[in-house]
Amino acid sequence: MLTLHHLNDSRSQRILWLLEEIGAPYELKRYQRDAVTRLAPPELAAVHPLGKSPVITDGDLTLVESGAIVDYILRRYAQGSTLRPAEGTRDFETYQEWLHYAEGSAMLPLMLQLYTSRLKDAAAPLQPRIDSEIANHLGFIEGALKGREYFVGDNLTGVDIMMSFVAEVAGSFGRLGPYPQLTAWIDRMHTRPAFRRSVEKGGAYRMAWG
């Protein structure tokens, strides 16, 4: 059976949401961050050398990286689902682009904000560039959502699940105010029954609000 190794307040929340959306059978193993350092516990390193989450095991397969996990689960457990557009279509290419964009580009300035915020005044020289990059990406996302309910096509896809973490981290930094389309979109995602079930099963989720 597929097992999700779930760390609280992490990217694995969206994998749990995906599993609830498709109704696939799975086992959930929960791990808790250190209350002081906020680091993952050493037990996760026994699952994968990086000691990070999300990580899934499925038989003799161990897989990390959110985008790879989302695509694997949809190919393996939800064939034909609208959560993954049909290959060979324009929507599929758009889906692939956003699937990689979520972690490959959008999260970088947000992670820089997270780490440099701990440096306080020492980070001041970097802040204008970080602010500019965050605004650049959030503005791009805002424009892509204009007049749309979802990122790709007319239905929820794996992209919406991947991009949720971007919006949630931006929201945790108070960055969503200028972006009403993005704010409305993540609010809609949070009302989905599968998302609410995922929070109930995964435990309190500090990235989510409302």
Strand bridging mode 27-31 / 2-7: parallel
Q: Which two tokens stand for residue 150?
A: 């979802």
Domain 90-192 classification at class level: mainly alpha
pTM of the model: 0.94
Return the SS3 of 128.
helix
d(CA 202, CA 196): 10
Kindly state which CATH superfamily the domain 2-82+195-202 is placed in. Glutaredoxin (3.40.30.10)
pLDDT in tens, the chain (210 residues): 999 999 999 999 999 999 999 999 999 999 999 988 888 999 999 999 999 999 999 999 999 999 999 999 999 999 989 999 999 999 999 999 999 999 999 999 999 998 898 888 888 999 999 999 999 999 999 999 999 999 999 999 999 999 999 999 999 999 999 999 999 999 999 999 999 999 999 987 877 543
Average pLDDT, the chain: 94
Give the residue range(s) of CATH 1.20.1050.10 domains in the chain: 90-192
The confidence score (pLDDT) of residue 210 equals 39
Q: Which two tokens stand for residue 101?
A: 């964009």
Give the residue range(s) of CATH 3.40.30.10 domains in the chain: 2-82+195-202
